[in-house]
Amino acid sequence: MKLNTQWLIVILSASIIFGELYGCTTNTSTLVKNKEIANTQAQQEIIIGGQSSTYPTMKILADVYTAKVKNIPVSFVPPNQLKIAIAAVKEGLLDICSMSEELPSEENDGTLDYRVVTKDALLLATHPSVEGITNLTTANLKAIYSGAMKNWQQIGGPDAKIIVLDLPDNEPAKRLLRKYYQGKDLKNSPQAVILKDEKDIITALQNTPYSIGAFSSGYAISHHLAVNLLSLNGVEATPENVQSGRYQMVRTIRLVSKKTTSEAIEAFINFTNSKQAALALRKSAFVSSTY
């Protein structure tokens, strides 16, 4: 079922893109029938899709849940655009869409249930080669990401070129950076290395001397990444500072599902707001929305 469902999402993605390009409507009745056939060929399974920035959180919850409820597996399709993932939930191709942004009003047709699960700080970090720098100001960030500041020595670091690892402007993490520190009109450095998503940022940062990038605080802490975690304007991205509101560059992770769904899916969603889930999230440096 997992493989079949992934292929259905690929087909749906192509159908939506084709429809947007050529003004066609997306006919998904055949896709839904195919999923129903796949459902009869495999045991019940909860399929999650959505934005890549939410997957570290959701995989923590899925691991804890499947250890508790052993006969209901939880699997993930490759991350996709939010619009496509929501459409897949509406058409029954996905059970849950996890997202780090609010549900767009145009996508809420009254058939969807929308719940907040947790909060995750977006932090700035550097490669360990960037010694002597533990904090950046808003002015520092603007200068670094615009390319106006080119050498770490300018703010007390080593005499080395700053390597900016950045994201496309349509990525949720990049939008958070702009909202809180960069401003919407700041031009990106022409020398910046633009990567696909936070996963790529994390990999590149660990392997690129003198680099800087932004990604999930919870992921960095729970995976004990060997990088330099930076405070911003003197405030660290700790769970306590996130909870109190002192650290503001925070995203809220939400789940979208159909209002009318199976008992298994409803049970998993209810679990994500349970005390056991909150403890698992806290252990990994995420902040629960309920405990």
**Contacts with 129 (C-beta within 8 Å, 6 or more apart), sequence order:** 158, 160, 209, 210
Between 173 and 6, name the one with better pLDDT.
Answer: 173
> For the chain, which domains are there?
2-117+254-288 (3.40.190.10), 121-244 (3.40.190.10)
Residue range 36-62: mean pLDDT, rounded: 78
pLDDT tier, 18 (very low <50, low <70, confident <90, very high otherwise): very low
| Non-local CB neighbours of 102 within 8 Å, separated by 6+ positions | 254
Mean pLDDT taken over the chain:
86
What global pTM score does this model have? 0.80
Greater model confidence, 21 or 91: 91
Q: Using the predicted structure, report yes or no on whether residue 90 has a pLDDT greater than 80.
A: yes
Q: Quote the CA–CA distance of 261 and 250 in Å, as a whole number.
A: 30
In the structure encoding, which two tokens stand for residue 155, read together?
């703010």
More confident residue, 81 or 250: 250
Q: What is the pLDDT of residues 98-115, one digit of tens each?
A: 999 888 888 888 899 999
What is the spatial distance between Cα 283 and Cα 118, in angstroms, rounded to a whole number? Answer: 13
pLDDT at position 131? 97
pLDDT in tens, 215-251: 999 889 888 999 999 999 999 998 889 989 999 999 9
39 vs 119: which has the higher pLDDT:
119
Question: If you average pLDDT over residues 158-176, what whole number do you get?
Answer: 95
Distance of CA 136 to the CA centre of its chain: 23
Confidence category of residue 130, pLDDT binned at 50, 70, 90:
very high
Please check whether residue 54 is in contact with residue 100, taking contact to mean a CB–CB distance below 8 angstroms. yes
**Cα(291)–Cα(289) distance, integer angstroms:** 6
